[in-house]
Chains A and B, each alone.
Chain A
């Protein structure tokens, strides 16, 4: 019995449910997620924190899709090298995606995991949704 109990403690918490934060298309097809606070998270995280996270993500995606000198140069270079440059160089978007992955990892470690939540990188779902996994809170009992 005691053993089972400690084993349960060691195991990762069980998934209770998942929330999906949808894309915000109000500004067109640019990658942007809705900052509206989902109801399921009401008792798990502060609205402010959630909104901040999503807003930061939106800003990062905006940076990735920005039509700047950077992306223009990249395009020119690609053209000139008959696109072989893509074999060795990482595109601007990919660089930002790495940044985003890091940011999500950080957020998970610092903020979300202690709250029993987990953010999943939306790139895994084609940048359509941000998946937030809500873990079962066994220690306190159901809310």
Chain B
């Protein structure tokens, strides 16, 4: 859809106006401005008379500084990446992996494919589900300023916290001074107001100071909140730290980073016309050319793979029977800092590709990690191009169609499903309906498992595809950042689709009630919850939550990169059933756990639950929004869940 490809980036589907997201920031502003004004009007006059007029002056300066930083933190672009354009994405073959590994200062770091933004997220970048943007050096989404905190505005956020702490201490201290000198006149208005201000100051001091201290530690260690809370460098080495002093210097003194959005795009003023000059060819190149003529495609693809995969493990050479191109290089995948899991084969970026169910299932047994694409299907044609040059139509795609097992790379952008047995022609995938009924239970389950992300909520075209629609729709659903969002967690309780999920376990159940994953992305939920009948809205997000019952499930494995399916169940019916069950269990577990999560402490299997700084008074009623505001989920491998109580009422439940 055009909106998600806007060059300005960051637009996506127009998000519905949610007044609830303005509540915390309005409250914060009201308290800050209100309490300070009262302090300045009722307490300061006496202070300036009694002691010195520099006291109110000092307080005003601190207050203005606090306010300035607050405004900057609130209104400044945190470092939003514009959406990648089509041409950039085409370069990555639909078989491209969900993760690319990069070495940062000798440490392997994974870059994950962002299905919404259509690029591999740079290190330290994360996709904010609230804002629906990838943010550079993402720290967290702060509800108090109703903005993401990222590279560009972290400094202001930090200074805001610092100055606010000082301001609160000032206000409290001077108010106390006033009260001490007016113990006999406490019935006066001035005294009453001062006491009220003191109370407010005292109340906010603890969480604010706590948060400030937390961020001081973060800066000293060179970590973002996201990294800290997801335990990325726990027990490991942080490649991004430059030492305490340098970290502080970098945070405070580096030049203001530029914004990426809203820049004027100057068109090229240069005329490019043939005839073009050519560089002299080297001997080797000439020789290559001669040999090249007959097998142009594959050679160039090999070259392309070599040249473009410097930041990823080199893909294996293309072979006709090559089924799992990612397998050979998946060993390196898990050397990342995320002490997540033992190496698992990486899955592939889902391009609305199709695989025959049989192959898919076999593939699934091998891949328990997230797949970016439904690329388990092998292609009979030789070039397994990870880096086809864009704009070149890939003849191999069409020829693959004949094999009847590939979905189109080019055509499936809208998120066609990964139902088994598709025949692909010219890059488009067409579900094969004959397979549908047979395989739908398993296939749709696995296909929707693998498809967590799609760039577009293209439910329309998907629905029209009839029985395969469920799996397609699952592909259409996006997860914002490949992880669970709180809002989507709430979905199961609200939508019957969750129940319908269990129906999917029945073989031969109408495919339309095929696998529905537990989680709808926020937009899905909001946009389509009312519009579509529940069963037609599988959420691929769930998919990666409960990859398996038999193979050790790792939440990650299932997180399909957007249009891909995660690890499909190990075998058709039984696997599928158990998978279905585990999925519904998982969803249910979350469901049940949701309300208690604010207090924290409910172990959530295979699920990372992080709540940051609930505004204390509004836990039960606004839990949804608050929780939604702070989604920092990462899928962790199965294991225990560790509850970590942080500062200021934060509760982190991290599955380890």
Contacts and interface: CB of A to CB of B under 8 A. Distances in A.
Contacts of A19: 389
B265 A25 contact: no
A94 interface: yes
Chain B residues touching A, majority SS: loop
Contacts of B278: 43-44, 115, 140
Contact of A18 (B124, B256, B390): B390
B255 A27 contact: no
Which of A65, A74, A94, A125 has the largest number of chain B CB atoms within 10 A?
A125
A25 B137 contact: no
A139 B91 CA distance: 26
Given A25-B123, A75-B252, A123-B260, A82 B65 contact: yes
Given A34-B310, A34-B311, A82 B260 contact: no
A28 B88 contact: no
A106 B615 CA distance: 54
Interface in B103-136: 103-105, 109, 119, 122-124, 136
A135 interface: yes
A59 to B, nearest CB: 16
Contacts of A124: 82, 263, 265
Which bracket fits the contact residues of B? 35 or more
Contact of B124 (A29, A42, A74, A112): A29
Chain A residues touching B, majority SS: mixed
A25 B109 contact: yes
Contact of A38 (B85, B87, B156, B307): B307
B255 A22 contact: no
B253 interface: yes
Contacts of B304: 39-40
B16 interface: no
B147 to A, nearest CB: 15
B279 A46 contact: yes
Interface string A42-82: 11111001000000000000001111001110110011001
Interface string B85-104: 10110010000000000111
A39 B82 contact: no
Which of A22, A105, A140 has the largest number of chain B CB atoms within 10 A?
A22
Contact of A139 (B87, B272, B274): B274
A75 B270 contact: no
Interface string A119-143: 0100111111101000111111001
Interface string A99-121: 00100010011001111111010
Interface string B297-339: 0001001101110110000000000000000000000000000
Given A34-B310, A82-B64, A116-B276, 7 more contacts: A20-B91, A27-B105, A36-B307, A67-B249, A67-B254, A97-B258, A125-B84
15 contacts: A9-B273, A13-B273, A18-B88, A20-B91, A43-B279, A43-B281, A44-B276, A65-B254, A72-B253, A82-B64, A108-B268, A113-B271, A116-B274, A125-B82, A128-B122
